[in-house]
């Protein structure tokens, strides 16, 4: 009987350690990001259509992650396509995404367009930095003058969360507990899970 109680306590302790490990990795991911921005020298414009959509052929942005390099940010909210493509020596660095949501706020002299997007395609060096194969936005804003000229832009890409791992772990532990309860192998665990 003591062995069964010990085993049930070890299983619960193992589950707690795994949960703590997953939580610690998630908290660390909040500090990892790649920011693309421009102010004043954005070299681009945005066209607003009567149906409320926005598109651009290209906005020049830079990132401290790629010192001295320039990128072209392009998007079209009618197709939900968005990309950030490296210029010159960085031409192989391509971030390709899908806009999931956007809204615009019109002021007297400017328009603020805020986006959310998923980035399923990111360069290998960004994947290595994130420790993940894809990204998501944690902030994205384009500020436009009344003529549609981009006065500033900011896109912050963070590692995409992986909700599947904690769900699979929880399902596995619940299944293990159910099997042991059903077989009567661990009466102590059966009392805890019910």
pLDDT tens track for 115-152? 899 999 999 999 999 999 999 998 889 999 888 899 99
Residues 131 and 139: beta-carbon distance below 8 Å: no
pLDDT at 190 over 60: no
| Least confident segment among 81-95, 102-116, 117-131 | 102-116
Residues 100 and 125: beta-carbon distance below 8 Å: no
The reply to whether the predicted model has a pTM over 0.75 is no
Give long-range contacts, CB 8 A cutoff, 24+ apart: 62-68. Answer: 62/36, 62/37, 62/38, 63/34, 63/35, 63/36, 63/37, 64/35, 65/34, 65/35, 65/126, 65/129, 66/90, 66/93
pLDDT at 30 over 50: yes
Average pLDDT across the chain, whole number: 81
- CA distance linking residue 71 with residue 61, whole number of Å: 5
Q: Which residues contact residue 189 at a Cβ distance below 8 angstroms, ignoring those fewer than 6 apart?
A: 7, 8, 11, 12, 177, 180, 181
Q: Which whole number is the average pLDDT over 19-48? A: 73
Check residues 57 and 10 and name the one with the higher pLDDT: 57
Position 179 scores a pLDDT of 55
- CA distance linking residue 193 with residue 44, whole number of Å: 59
- CA distance linking residue 6 with residue 13, whole number of Å: 10
Position 101 scores a pLDDT of 94
Q: Which whole number is the average pLDDT over 40-52? A: 89
Strand intervals (E) in the chain: 34-39, 47-48, 54-55, 59-62, 70-76, 81-86, 94-106, 110-121, 135-145, 150-159
Most confident of 32-36, 102-106, 136-140, 144-148: 32-36
Query: In this structure, what DSSP letter does residue 148 have?
Result: S
Position 161 scores a pLDDT of 85
Position 185 scores a pLDDT of 54
Position 67 scores a pLDDT of 96
């Amino acid at each position: 009987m003591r062995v069964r109680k010990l085993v049930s306590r070890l299983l619960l302790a193992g589950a707690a350690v795994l949960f703590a490990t997953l939580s610690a990795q998630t908290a660390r991911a909040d500090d990892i990001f790649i920011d693309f921005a421009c102010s004043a020298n954005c070299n681009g414009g945005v066209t607003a259509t009567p149906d409320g959509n926005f598109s651009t052929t290209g906005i020049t942005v830079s990132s401290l992650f790629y010192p001295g390099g320039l990128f072209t940010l392009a998007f079209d909210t009618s197709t939900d396509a968005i990309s950030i493509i490296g210029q010159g020596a960085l031409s192989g660095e391509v971030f390709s995404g899908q806009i999931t949501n956007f809204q615009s706020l019109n002021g007297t002299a400017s328009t603020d367009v805020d986006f959310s997007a998923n980035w399923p395609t990111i360069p290998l060096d960004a994947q290595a930095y994130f420790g993940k194969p894809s990204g998501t936005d944690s902030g994205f804003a384009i500020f436009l003058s009344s003529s549609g000229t981009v006065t500033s832009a900011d896109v912050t890409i963070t590692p995409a969360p992986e909700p599947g791992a904690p769900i699979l772990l929880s399902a596995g532990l619940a299944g293990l507990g159910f099997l042991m309860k059903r077989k009567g192998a661990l009466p102590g665990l059966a009392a805890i899970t019910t």
